[in-house]
Amino acid sequence: MTTLRLAIVGAGPAGIYAADIAKKAERAFDVSIDLFERLPAPYGLVRYGVAPDHPRIKGIIGALREVLDGGAVRLFGNVDFGTDITLEDLQQHYHAVIFATGAIRDASLDIPGIELPGSYGAADVVSWYDGHPDVPRDWPLDAKEIAVIGNGNVALDVARILVKHVDDLMPTEIPANVEAGLRASPVSDVHVLGRRGPANVKFTPLELRELGELRDVDMLVQDEDFEYDDQARMAITANKQVMVMDRILQGWRKREVGRASRRLHLHWWARPVEILGDGRVEAIRWERTEPDGLGGARGTGEFREQAVQAVYRAVGYFGSPLAGVPFDPERGVIPNHEGQVLAHDGALQPGVYATGWIKRGPVGLIGHTKSDAMETVEHVLTDQGMWWNPAHPDEQSVPDLLASRGVHFTTIEGWHHLDEHELSLGEHAGRTRIKVVPRDEMLAASLR
């Protein structure tokens, strides 16, 4: 019987879902799957992109772990595509590859002052508080007043973590360096800016409700932002999620404020136009917008300023190019047709596929990657005429290749060792888990 040797680059939700679907699909041949991950640990966005105080979302790890622990998939962690292993290597050992590398960079925001010291991308601070091994251990939390640009879930996550008292984060898995940084933070006010109105936000009711439950944090909204037009009133009536969020916000308008030590301000109809400062961030300037009648916003010519010492932009994520793989620099994705990668001339590229955010851009929730992976995997399994003809398809050839290059790769068993180590660290500190941050310590625990 024919055996499809399939490589998947990226062991986050998209890659693991693709592996699970490929193994369970009806087919007339066997499938042998290897997952490659540049970090020592799997789970990608769920481990390094979800705020630590979201245990319900992190519960997805349980389903992903079942796939890895099922014994039908091999994991090669701490393997960097493009250096440790290349596209040419994969062609020698596999019939096809699916790229599931996600989108980990911040989308750009082209306004004056965006490059000033004190101006940051949200992806970087998320990586810091989630204990990503490839970012600095220290983060400059020296601002009393902070602006967060964006009206999506990431913007609210960043704002919540920055304003939340660190004692309330101790039940989570935050690393020791993150605890120390947040304890030293002098923050008093966080301002969240969105260019459209409260009925057009991109976050979810769960995210919004969690903000209102923060201890010793006042929620401040402005009455002028709730002068709804017909389009907004229609959105509230027709969409249950929008209706729930409006109900939450209307409740905040009635709250008594002024007693908390920290404040979170939500500003709508605010389009950032410039970050001000002499040598570093000192203020943010925005234009007051208004409804354009089509669900969008237009400028009014009225400008406002708010003193801040740090700005975080949370305006979306962006994919990164991969060595030897076509890339669309405008959209930050691998060009493709339903997951079949397109070469520079628009023709299908044999043996190369994509799924997840690197396929469709950073839209949708984690669960959406499952249906996305089904589409890609269906093409992989039916494109036998497009498969590569590997010279070394035997399974042992891949660990032998990595070992010959001195790559200290981790496995599923190694992840179990690291997992047990983090749980043990948490147990000794009276917590569920403490995440290990330095890569060398992750490897030491994994390879023992």
Mean pLDDT of the chain: 94
pLDDT of residue 54: 83
pLDDT of residue 301: 97
pLDDT in tens, 145-167: 999 999 988 999 999 999 999 99
pLDDT of residue 239: 92
pLDDT of residue 367: 67
pLDDT in tens, 364-419: 667 678 889 999 999 999 999 999 999 999 999 999 999 999 999 999 999 999 99
Give the DSSP H or E segment for 310: strand 310-313
Q: Which two tokens stand for residue 38?
A: 């540049």
- 321: Cβ–Cβ under 8 A, 6 or more apart, which residues? 327, 329
Residue 171 to residues 62, 407, 426, Cα–Cα distance (Å) = 19, 36, 10
Burial class (CB in 10 A: 0-12, 13-18, 19+), 79: buried
Give the DSSP H or E segment for 146: strand 145-149
User: Model-level pTM greater than 0.75?
Assistant: yes
CA angle 416, 422, 425 (to 5 degrees): 140
Residues 113 and 278: beta-carbon distance below 8 Å = no
pLDDT of residue 448: 84
Q: Within 13 A of 199's CA, how many CA atoms are on the CB side?
A: 24
- 12: Cβ–Cβ under 8 A, 6 or more apart, which residues? 42, 43, 44, 45, 46, 100, 102, 356
Residues 342 and 335: beta-carbon distance below 8 Å = yes
CA atoms of 252 and 120, how far apart (whole Å): 29
Q: In Å, how far from its chain's centre is CA 447?
A: 27
Residues 94 and 388: beta-carbon distance below 8 Å = yes
CA atoms of 175 and 187, how far apart (whole Å): 20
pLDDT of residue 156: 93
pLDDT of residue 264: 97
CA atoms of 348 and 352, how far apart (whole Å): 9
pLDDT, mean of each 10-residue run, the chain (448 residues): 90 96 89 97 92 80 91 96 98 98 92 97 95 94 97 93 96 94 97 94 86 94 92 91 93 92 97 97 97 87 98 94 96 96 94 96 78 94 95 96 97 97 94 94 95
Q: Describe the crossing of helices 240-253 and 205-212 by its angle, rounded to 10 degrees.
A: 20
DSSP class per residue in 311-341: EEE-S-EE----TTS--BTTTTB--EETTEE
3-state secondary structure of 303: strand
**Domains of the chain from N-terminus onward:** 3-104+319-410 (3.40.50.720), 107-313 (3.50.50.60)
Query: Which is nearest to 204 in space by CA: 245, 238, 236?
Result: 245
pLDDT of residue 207: 85
Query: Which is nearest to 105 in space by CA: 87, 83, 127?
Result: 127
